[in-house]
Amino acid sequence: IDKTLYCMARAGGTATFQVRCECTKTGENVYLVGSSVELGAWDPLKGLLCSTTKQQYPVWTCDPFPLPVHSEVLEFKIVVKHGKETNKDRVRWEHGPNHKVKLPSSSSGSSLIVHCVWGQADVEAEPLRDCQHNLSGQQSLPASDLKQQATAPAAAIRVAPVRPQTSAAVSQQPPRQALQQASSKQPAQSAVPAPATPMTRRQPVSAPGSAAANDRNQLGGGDGDALDGAQLEAGYDTVEGGTQLEIGNDDAVEYEAQLKEDGSDDELPEMPTPATYGRRTSKQQGPLTRQIEAEAEFARQKSGSSIGGDSPAGTEFGRQISASSMDGAESRRAMIRRGSRHMCMNANGHWNQEMSRTPSLMMIDLDEFQEAAESYSKELDALEERQKLNKNMLRMGSSSLLEGMVKITQYADKSKTVMLQGFNWESWRAGGGDWYGIVSKKAEMLADMGFTDVWLPPCSDSVAPQGYLPSQLFNLDKSKYGSQASLEALLEELHSRGIRGLADIVVNHRCGDRQDGEGRWNQFSSGMISRPSFAGVMEWGGWAITLGDKFSDGTGQHHPGHLDGQFDAAPNIDHRNKRVQQSIATWLRWLRLQVGFDGWRFDFVKGYAAEFVGLYCKKTEPAWAVGELWGDMIYDDNGLASNQDKHRQDLVNWINATDKRCTAFDFTTKGILQEACRQNQYWRLRDSQGKPAGLIGWMPKHAVTFLDNHDTGSTQRHWPFPDDKVLVGYAYILTHPGIPCVFWDHVMDWGEDHRRKIADMMKVRQDSGIPVDAPVNIQCADNDLYLAEIGQPPALRVALGPRGAGTPDMNYWSNGPAGKGYCIWVKTPQPPPKPKQEEPQRPPSSRPPPRNPATVAELEKDVRPYKEEFPDFKPVTIDGRYISVAKLQSMDAKELRDLADRLRPLLAAAEKVMELRRDSNKKGAAEEESDRRRAEAAKAEKEETMRKATEEQAKSLAAEKERRKAAEEQAKYLAAKEEEKRKAAEERAKYLAAEEEKRKAAEEEEARRKAAEEQAKSMAAEEERRKAAEEQAKYLAAKEEEKRKAAEERAKYLAAEEEKRKAAEEEEARRKAAEEDDEDAKADNLDFDLHAKAEQEEQEDSKRKEAEGQAKRLAAEEEKKKGNRRRVGQGKGSRKGS
């Protein structure tokens, strides 16, 4: 941004600020907020307002304000806010340190002009005397700028783009009314020249009238004073001859409305222009490229930037070389090239050097030219459509957007697809942080090898440098592999070579870049800063994480599916959440339309349902996609199990769950192939149905075969393919069905010879034209040999393993790439049948051609009967037919007439030749000698060819003999090894049998010992039980004796009590008798006697009940004693029985 800011100032102790700010939107104003009261004391709502006009924009000027008296330094910042904004949180502050202005020691009578730029800390302050200012208050220019304006060409003077006035008075009005007011004012008397360096602009939107102006310039219409279409398209006014040309009121309103409608707030990088696009995407300077460059050259000449300089006014159109456009001998030398050319001129009459130095179009095949033109036209149309879709991505309906994306998608032909994994685990360390630049430099080599696709590493900001712990998905500049600009340049370079780019999509998990209130890293930022319309996209919280995850805050909607895998290192994303689905789809569309990716490689797809992979493919229309479903293979006691149908069935189920919108890496084939190569067990490569044992045997159209990747190989080596068998592995996957994927290390890091061998195999696959689902005829699958023919009819034949496969029918097959452990044969191309040509007439030879002796004898036999009639006739060969006397006799009249007609010109020619030879014997002798020498040379060449063929055959036979001998030696060696193994197995069997006998004997002895111990333990336990029973019986007898004695004592006690009771009754009877005698005493004591009697009756009743209870208890105890005696008797009986 140019720091030359033009200013105005007022007299007195004041300061006037000139601020350059281009980041404002319609309705927003620029304010100054600082340390002084005049600048709001750091309150953004009380800052000092700056205003601008359409002529001054993007320069904003504030009204002069008094300088603070007691301050030496004035600090301030620039803020942008809407005129009606009252919320401090929605004010946009500029980043970076505060601007600082050193104030003069005495502010009395001092006026300062302060210049500053948004986002830059530099501040320029100068006193009023350093600027020219008129008394009327209008702005003027410094003397140097006035001089520069006077000498500058008219077309070079530009001002800022037209914008509505955004002062406080106008900001309250609707945009249309504000624009009409701004444009209805009189233009300024003098315009401010634009800075020398071009201003940074957003994606230009064509203003009204620009299309017509651009077309007029392109077609050469109009005079030299016509407006430049590029200037109008960028929104500039043009000053010519001191008069400012303004865009009309209605045009300005429509232009501003279009800016608002099209969402120009999104800062989109400019797409390539047609000229540069044609130059980049063509592998060589084709005719269409030259035509595009010619049009661009003409546009540059009209805008005053032609190669040879500006055309002088008044130059007539003519075929003359202008002195201003050609620099004498140097220009003429630039136009001298080999071949036929035309001298090409532009519409203004100047020679076009670029077109003139190219070959003439008359020497170009028009069919090829038309084909190239149509191809480039489609590419340009796709580029324009992609730019349109990218800009309106969030404004278009989903169906309309997908229809547009379908139009620009070049879907992959799986039969011709060969992919390269364009990185390894350590690639982020290479290239000084620009891995994309390394791959870009190798794009031409990759195209020459035949790669159609390159799988690139994860491109977003990531916690891990390899990219597999992504955070801010839209932030591509923080990737360890390079910047977003470098990535887009790489993809453009790949596209120019006809190679697609696949992005590595990691959406199973995502790392938060902020913590929530509980310290969990589950707050996600998008990383998008250039497109405000993407606000909210990829801005996630804890609600986007699956329930039950350690990073979840419980606000999510769904738990993981029952088949979903768990990734513990980062939060697992809830793909069932509709908002998550929409955000991921938007991000993928942005990767396609903005960055330029063509397809997807989905990482760790076992962590979320396959239906979502299909959904994302449906919403983004990639050229093709592949998923990484790495599951566990089946193992048994012998290692890898021979039947892996369950493993590949899981892959089939996953592919079907994506609605077949996505392919899958064939991990089944990788596991089986590397085990077969490592153990020389090539029988593994054929399943029970006679088909290939991997996914390519069931769904070859959706199988991506590979040997290693950044996880299985590279520096991690979690599951590596045997290093010494890598070429054997590529001989399998590059000749068999499926979509092969080659690892970067095997092509780039293992040497030139290794790369050349892989390239040869890729060329064989490409030349053979086998389809992705070609049938495979497996002829042999033994331990040490795998032999198969691929295609229908067979186009490739491959043998793997140490055992030789013999020589096939070399009339059908020809030798292809071969190496240690592999050999490939290619179907011999059949030459097209040659059209039959009439043999030229040759004079009859005096000597008959050589004939088969048997044929001669037969013909001589036919001639004998007619020799006497035709003594001078000798058999001849005419048109391949042997003519003898017998043949003549067998011909009818028509055949004889045809033969005569055929011989007449021959005889005439022979006579003519003889006459000529007589006239030039010497010349004829020389020609004869020349013919003889040519014949001898041809004969020698033929003999040499036969000798070489014989030598080659001998070498081939010797090589075959050596191979057969080596095979025999190998067979003997293997037989010896097998015999050794058999003997070792027999010895091992004998040893194991002896050991088994010993083990069984030991087990029997141990069983007997344990049985004896158990019996002894049982007898001891029985003795213990007997003793316990005897002790129990003694105890019970003692208890019975005690109870008997107690009962006797009780009986005595009761008898004594009974005696007492009887004595008491007798005493009472005596007392009653005494009482009856005294009736008077009874009358007096009647009540007392009744009471005593009642008490006595109660006592007697109580005693009676007590006696009854005692009797019951004694009976119960007696019954208990009887039961104990019965149990003791039963115990004695059981002991006697045992």
Helix count (H) and strand count (E) of the chain? Answer: 28, 29
What single string gives the DSSP state of each residue in 114-128? Answer: EEEETT---EEEEEG
Check residue 284 and report its DSSP letter. S
Contacts of 178 (CB under 8 A, 6+ apart): 164, 165, 166, 170, 171
Which of the following is catalytic: 94, 256, 598, 603?
A: 603
Which of the following is catalytic: 145, 233, 385, 628?
A: 628
Contacts of 80 (CB under 8 A, 6+ apart): 21, 23, 24, 28, 29, 30, 31, 91, 92
Distances 703 to 654, 740, 896 between C-alpha atoms, Å: 12, 9, 71
> At residue 748, what is the residue type?
M
What single string gives the DSSP state of each residue in 749-771? Answer: IS-HHHHHHHHHHHHHHHHHT--
Among 94, 124, 7, residue whose Cα is nearest residue 56: 7
Cis peptide, bond prior to residue 58, ω within 30 of zero: yes
Contacts of 764 (CB under 8 A, 6+ apart): 734, 735, 796, 816, 817, 824, 826
Cα torsion 565, 566, 571, 577: sign: positive
How many angstroms separate the CA atoms of 1120 and 1117, rounded? 5
| CA neighbours closer than 13 Å in the CB half-sphere of residue 376 | 26
Beta bridge partners of 1066: none
Q: Give the CA dihedral 378, 383, 385, 388, nearest 10 degrees.
A: -170
What single string gives the DSSP state of each residue in 805-863? Answer: -----TTTEEEEEEETTEEEEEEPPPPPPPPP-PPPP-PPPSSPPP--HHHHHHHHHHH
Structural contact between residues 282 and 289, judged by C-beta atoms closer than 8 angstroms: yes
How many angstroms separate the CA atoms of 294 and 911, rounded? 64
Among this protein's residues, is 666 annotated catalytic? no
Cβ atoms < 10 Å from Cβ of 727? 20
Q: List the structure tokens of 384.
A: 């324009």
Distances 697 to 481, 629, 635, 832 between C-alpha atoms, Å: 37, 18, 20, 35
Q: Are strands 48-51 and 28-34 parallel, antiparallel or unpaired?
A: antiparallel
SS (H, E, C) 18-30: EEECCCCCCCEEE
Name residue, tokens 């020679």. Answer: 351
Q: List the structure tokens of 3.
A: 């720091």
Q: List the structure tokens of 257.
A: 């409305």
- Between the two ends of the chain, the Cα-to-Cα distance in Å is 116
Q: List the structure tokens of 154.
A: 């008219």
Q: List the structure tokens of 960.
A: 């075959």
Chain mean position to CA 34: 49
Tell me how long the chain is: 1138
Among this protein's residues, is 628 annotated catalytic? yes
Contacts of 1128 (CB under 8 A, 6+ apart): 1032, 1033, 1036
Taking each helix axis as running N to C, give the angle between helix 287-302 and helix 274-281, from 0 to 180 degrees, rounded to the nearest 10: 150
Distances 232 to 56, 226, 255, 274, 699 between C-alpha atoms, Å: 18, 11, 11, 19, 57
Which are the catalytic amino acids? Answer: 603, 628
